[in-house]
Amino acid sequence: MGSQPAVTNPLRVLVVDDNRDQADTTALLVRCWGFEVQVAYDGTQALEATCAYRPHVLLVDIGMPAMDGYSLARGLRGAGLTEAVLVAVTGYADEAHRRQGQEAGFDHYLVKPVEPGELQSLLALVRKARDLGQAGSDLLRATDAAGLRGADIQQLGQVRGLEDPVDLRPGVVEPQFAADCSHLPVQGDELGQPDAGHKPHLAQV
């Protein structure tokens, strides 16, 4: 059986969430999509991990104790972390919290429960943008400004007139990871949905 080609410049993702079950599930799902991933369970761990790991994307919960997601984002941006894409993943859906997230330095704002295909599309878009240079930066800004979600993101490559359209089909799992991911959330399921084993507020912060 032939080996899979090595990924020479993988996208590095840091998941930051004080709900360990949710953080670990999200990280496993992200790994199954073919991205590198590490987990931090609070803001302090996230600061340390960012210095050592240098992630390209941070998926950050907002309602964490001691240092919330807004404070973390402000600290990272204030320390000069300008290249990484900061994504808020939170249950705070109102416009005031969205504005606060933007002011803190978040590039994207996802509301729990998050559909896995939407998150996969966004990460694939970031990976594609890294290969496109300035055109990729414009692509990311257009996504955030338009508030596009899920399948709408897939059309951006053509909308922006790129020679190589962005292929961000939700639900497509890298073949080498398929066997390990059969039990994980898929298109139509959601991340951050409370169940009998979790406190209800975990889906809201």
3-state helix/strand/coil string of 52-95: HHCCCEEEECCCCCCCCHHHHHHHHHHCCCCCCEEEEEECCCCH
- Give pLDDT, residue 192: 60
- Give pLDDT, residue 98: 94
Structure confidence by residue, pLDDT tens digits, 152-202: 444 444 434 344 444 444 333 333 333 345 554 444 455 664 333 333 332
- Give pLDDT, residue 102: 94
Report pTM: 0.72
Q: Which residue has the tokens 């240098």?
A: 54
For the chain, first and last CA: distance in Å?
Answer: 45
Looking at 34-43, 59-68, 74-83, 121-130, which range is the least confident one? Answer: 121-130
* Residue pair 58/30 in contact by the 8 Å Cβ criterion: no
Residue 25 clears pLDDT 90, i.e. is over it: yes
Alpha-carbon separation of residue 80 from 38, 74, 162, 174 (angstroms): 21, 10, 30, 33
* Residue pair 32/184 in contact by the 8 Å Cβ criterion: yes
- Give pLDDT, residue 27: 97
Tally of CB atoms within 10 A around 175: 9
More reliable by pLDDT, 18 or 82: 18
Looking at 51-55, 111-115, 179-183, which range is the least confident one? Answer: 179-183
Buried b or exposed e, range 95-131, using 16+ CB within 10 angstroms:
eebbebbeebbbbbbbbbebbbbbbbbbbbbbbbbbe
More reliable by pLDDT, 41 or 185: 41
| CB neighbour list of residue 10: distance below 8 Å, 6 or more residues apart | 34, 35, 36
φ, ψ of residue 18 to 5 degrees: the values are: -80, -10
- Give pLDDT, residue 205: 37
Report the percent of the chain where pLDDT is more than 70.
60
Tally of CB atoms within 10 A around 7: 12
Q: Which domains does the chain have, with CATH numbers?
A: 10-114 (3.40.50.2300), 116-172 (no CATH)
Tally of CB atoms within 10 A around 53: 17
CA dihedral over 139, 143, 144, 145, signed as positive or negative: positive
